[in-house]
Amino acid sequence: MAVAEMLIPNEAPAPVPPRRRQLLFASGFAAAGWAMFLVTLLGAYLVARSGDRAVWLLENKIPLTQPNVQLGTLILSSITVQWAVYSIARDDRGHTYLALAITTLFGVAFINQTWFLYTQVGLKMAQREGRFFYALTGGHLAMVGCATIFLVLMLVRSLGGSFSSRYPEGLSAVAVFWHVTVAMYAAIWLVVYIMK
Amino acid sequence: MALTEAPTGSDLLSPGDEVGTQRQVAAPVVQGVLGGAEHVTTGRMFVGLALGFGALDLIISALVNFDRAAFDSATGEGFFGTELAQRVAQNQTIGFVLCCALPLMLGLAIIIVPKQIGSPALSFPRAAALSLWTWLLSSVIFVVVVAADGSYGGSNEKLARVGNVITGALIVALCIGVVCVAVTVLTLRPSGMGLADVPFFSFSMVVAASAWVLTLPVVLSHVVLVHIITPGPGDLQAAFDENISWMFSQPALYIVLIPILGLAVDVAATAAGSRQRARGAVLFAIGFAGALTFGAWAQTDASRATMIWVLMSASFAIPIIAVLGAVGETLQSGRPKLISPLAFVMVAMLLGLVGSMVGLLEAIDSTGKGRLIGFGNAALDTGLFYLVIGAAITAGVGGCFYWARQSFGDSLPESAGRLLAPAALVGVSLWGLPHLVLGIVQANDEGIDPRVFTAISGAGALLMSLVLLVTIAAGVQVRSEVRRGDVLVADPWGGAGTLEWADAESVPTTVESPYPLLDAKGDD
């Protein structure tokens, strides 16, 4: 008997397609890579600050209001993105759309708040602190920007009916990436804004 | 199906097809080359170009070593001049890792991994194509920039910055590509095939992807950090020395060795025509090796003067020895044939083992306060780099010979492989061992003249570049013959058991064994 016939008998039933999670795993890898990128910048920030502790941020004041509001915004967005995952798992499309739209709004609001914070802080790139501050917060801002674009794409696909309780991967993927984004901001908030 | 998804067999079916049919659709040439519709095309371009860049790098390395051999103490420089020699020497490390060793393994994985796990396609094929073209463009720019007095060590301010940005682009490109490979293994396996059941090379690529994704972005962050201050050449040189050079030393450098472990086991099983026993132990050894390569934390001298670094440096030989033992056991249990890929991977494993032993020497030397023995660290580092990169390139060439049917369309000449494997052994040994010996000898005599050692090293690099050029020529020759329509041999080794050797039509939809073809043949 030929090898091919032994491997696939003609009467074999069609297999059930396995549930693929390509986007979920890819998002996990992307989030891990980006987290390493930010953790390194965070480490560089700490090393630089410990070296220049006496003069660090003497000329500039970082207000606490915006960072606190930003953290609150992102924590709320973490809840809303999980709400989207919860809703799609129950085929509740209305709530899924609403949750994704609110999360996107939170993402845009965070970007706006960061931009406003930059104008308040007034750090120059020529200052030693400026280089590390903008690299770290800018790196995270870029991550939030990418996550927001990812959210919009998943929202559009949701509106097109791509996701359901049987195939929720896109929303799970964006949720994973979003949660890592929020966790990274929590670390930045603690190190840069609280432990000044 | 979304743009981000890869087609499966069932996606490609027509209404009249019988139950159980799987089909692959041939994409138009332009779409296959530019858009990544054919993962084999994407992978083949990665492999061919990485071999080309590798040959170029080796010739440059030979020139760097000959320059040191021609050092004139009266003028204080060789034929290159001090600045050029330093610039080329430090940029060749980036070239070897990011333009040759990593993309060579990535290319093989893009070709082979989907086939090994019985998937008709690669995950995110367009992302893989993006990875290829970004990498290719970046590599070409990198070579031009280094030649034109730029990149790290260059004195042209703008081109030095371009070199820095291009290093970041290379890293991003490779990360995108390796994520595509890892996601393929993790998500596109057929029913019944668990992650522990995938062929060893595929498993090693998952481990490698994790290591690359956790390591390379750390370098990228330093690239960004230095770039945003609009750096001058001096800033870039300092950034390379303090924040980037750790990537080209142990343990981070060992990330290039991870795929070799999986490749060696797969080749040994084929050569012996039998299964690999103690799968769990071998998989653990590969995973352990991956864990030991995480070196992003050891960027400064202070972090390298710690017990953790000593232990990690000293331990990397353990998984290599474990895998070598497993390979030996497999060969002993079967009826091994001396095929050229086996020779290549055994050479690569031995070179990797010697490289890890250099790490062990460095670890011993750095225990306690100060230096225990006082080896010449710069020479030892160079020897370690050459041996590890040489091992990766040798294994990559072995992979090209082993999977030539999948990569190029037909087998490469076995006689050439049997000639090139010992040549690679001699070439890499000559390339790396003189620096290793020099470093050891410098423990007793720091003033020893290094010129003889570097001259031998340069000759080894030239020999190794010849190996790569012959491999490229053989690949081009085979491609031209395949285009003329010669008949393919299904399994040129006569004992292959993993799925990449099955014809597209005979790939089973349910797989419960890592060696389904051996099962079908009734072999034990």
What is the full DSSP assignment across A18-33?
Answer: P---HHHHHHHHHHHH
A20 pLDDT higher than 80: no
Domain made up of A61-196: CATH architecture:
Up-down Bundle (1.20)
Q: Which residues of A touch B2 (CB under 8 A)?
A: 157, 162, 170
Interface with chain A: mutation pick from B10, B509, B515, B519, highest number of A CBs within 10 Å: B509
Q: What is the crossing angle of helices B340-366 and B307-315, to 10°?
A: 160
Comparing CA positions, the residue from B260, B46, B6 lying closest to residue B134 is: B46
Amino acid identity of residue B61, one-letter, is S
Residue B14 placed within a domain = no
| Rounded CA separation B154/B157 (Å) | 8
Q: Is the distance from CB of A54 to CB of A128 less than 8 angstroms?
A: no
Contacts of B4 in chain A (CB under 8 A): 22-23
CB contact (8 A) between residue A12 and residue B20: yes
Tally the domains of chain B: 1
Q: Which of B316, B83, B214 has its CA nearest to residue A39?
A: B214
Query: What pLDDT, in 10s, does the model give residues B260-288?
Result: 999 999 999 989 888 888 889 999 999 99
Quick check: A160 contacting B, CB < 8 Å?
no
**Residue B20: inside a domain:** no
From chain B, pick out residues whose CB is under 8 angstroms from the CB of A32: 210, 213-214
Enumerate the residues of chain A whose CB falls inside 8 A of the CB of residue B191.
15-16, 18
Which of B227, B228, B255, B512 to probe the A interface (max A CBs under 10 A)? B228
Structure tokens at B214: 């956790």
CATH code assigned at B134 = 1.20.210.10
Contact between chains at A21 and B228 (C-beta distance less than 8 A): no
Q: In this complex, is the C-beta atom of B303 within 8 Å of any C-beta atom belonging to chain A?
A: no
Q: Do A8 and B506 touch (CB under 8 A)?
A: yes
Per-residue pLDDT of B397-454, as tens digits, reads 999 999 998 888 888 888 999 999 999 999 999 999 999 999 888 877 777 888 899 9
Tokens, residue A25? 């795993």
* B114 vs A15, higher pLDDT: B114
Which pLDDT does position B65 carry in this prediction? 92
Size of interface A-B (CB pairs under 8 A): 121
Under 8 Å between Cβ of B222 and A45:
no
Across the interface, do B183 and A25 touch by the CB < 8 Å criterion?
yes
Note whether residue B395 is domain-resident: yes
Tell me the residues of chain A between 169 and 188 that have a Cβ less than 8 Å away from chain B.
Answer: 170
What average pLDDT score do residues B71-80 get? Answer: 76
Q: How far is B159 from chain A (nearest CA, A)?
A: 21
Which of B246-260, B317-331, B352-366 has the lowest average pLDDT?
B352-366
Q: What's the mean pLDDT in A129-139?
A: 92
Q: Residues A155-195: pLDDT tens digits?
A: 999 999 888 888 888 999 999 999 999 999 999 999 999 98
Instruction: Bin B98: left if φ > 0, else alpha if -120 < ψ < 50, else beta.
Output: alpha
Angle between helices B125-147 and B82-94 (to 10 degrees): 170
Above 90 in pLDDT, residue B72? no
Nearest chain A CA: its distance from B211 CA (Å): 10
Say if the Cβ atoms of B228 and A7 lie within 8 Å: no
The ipTM is 0.86
Confidence of residue B36 (pLDDT cuts 50, 70, 90): low
Using alpha carbons, select from B133, B153, B157, B123 the residue that is nearest to residue B5.
B123
B43 and B129 Cβ atoms separated by less than 8 Å: no
Please give the DSSP secondary-structure letter assigned to residue B26: P
Test B506 with A3 for CB contact under 8 angstroms. yes
Q: Residue B251, preceding bond cis, omega within 30 degrees? A: yes
Q: Could you tell me if residue B5 is inside a domain?
A: no
Residue of chain A with shortest Cα separation from B18: A10
Q: Is the pLDDT of residue B39 over 90?
A: no
Is B189 among the domain residues? Answer: yes
pLDDT tier, A3 (very low <50, low <70, confident <90, very high otherwise): low
For residue B397, is it within any domain? yes
Indicate yes or no: CB of B10 within 8 angstroms of CB of A134.
no
**B24 inside 8 A of chain A by CB:** no
Interchain pair A25, B191: CB under 8 A: no
Q: Domain for residue B487, yes or no?
A: yes
Mutate to test the interface with A, among B17, B117, B183 (most CBs of A within 10 A): B183
Per-residue confidence (pLDDT) for residue B110, from 0 to 100: 95
Res B524 pLDDT > 50: no
The confidence score (pLDDT) of residue B250 equals: 83
Nearest to B279 by CA among B205, B196, B207: B196
What average pLDDT does this structure show over B326-348?
91
Question: How does residue B508 score in pLDDT terms, banded at 50, 70 and 90?
Answer: low
Q: Which residues of A touch B247 (CB under 8 A)?
A: none
Say if B504 is an interface residue toward chain A (CB within 8 Å). Answer: no
Q: Which range marks the domain in which residue B222 is found?
A: 30-504+512-519
Convert B65-89 to b/e letters by CB count within 10 Å (16 or more is b).
bbbbbebeeeeebbebeeebbbbbb
Nearest residue of chain B to residue A18 (CA atoms): B191
What contacts 24+ positions apart, CB below 8 Å, involve B414-419? Answer: B414/B339, B414/B340, B414/B492, B416/B340, B416/B470, B416/B474, B417/B339, B417/B340, B417/B341, B417/B343, B417/B344, B418/B338, B418/B340, B418/B343
Mean pLDDT of B87-108: 93
B224 touches chain A (CB under 8 A): yes
Q: Do A33 and B214 touch (CB under 8 A)?
A: yes
Chain A closest CA to B220's CA: distance in Å?
7
For residue B334, pLDDT over 90 is answered with: no
Task: For residue range B351-387, list pLDDT tens digits in order.
Answer: 999 999 888 888 888 776 667 777 777 888 999 999 9
Please report residues of B whose CB lies closer than 8 A to that of A157. 2
CB contact under 8 A, A40 and B510: no
Nearest CA in chain B to A126: B229
Query: Any CB–CB contact under 8 A between B188 and chain A?
Result: yes
Report if residue B255 sits inside a domain.
yes
Element (H, E) at B358: helix B340-366
Backbone dihedral region of B369: left (phi > 0), alpha (psi from -120 to 50 degrees) or beta?
A: beta
Q: Which residues pair with B191 in a beta bridge?
A: B510
Query: Which amino acid appears at position B379 of this protein?
Result: A
Q: What is the pTM of this model?
A: 0.89
Instruction: Say whether B19 and A13 touch across the interface (CB within 8 A).
Output: yes
Nearest to B124 among A17, A18, A22 (CB): A22
Does residue B517 belong to the interface with chain A, where contact is any CB pair within 8 Å? yes
- Provide the shortest C-alpha distance from residue A105 to chain B (in Å): 24
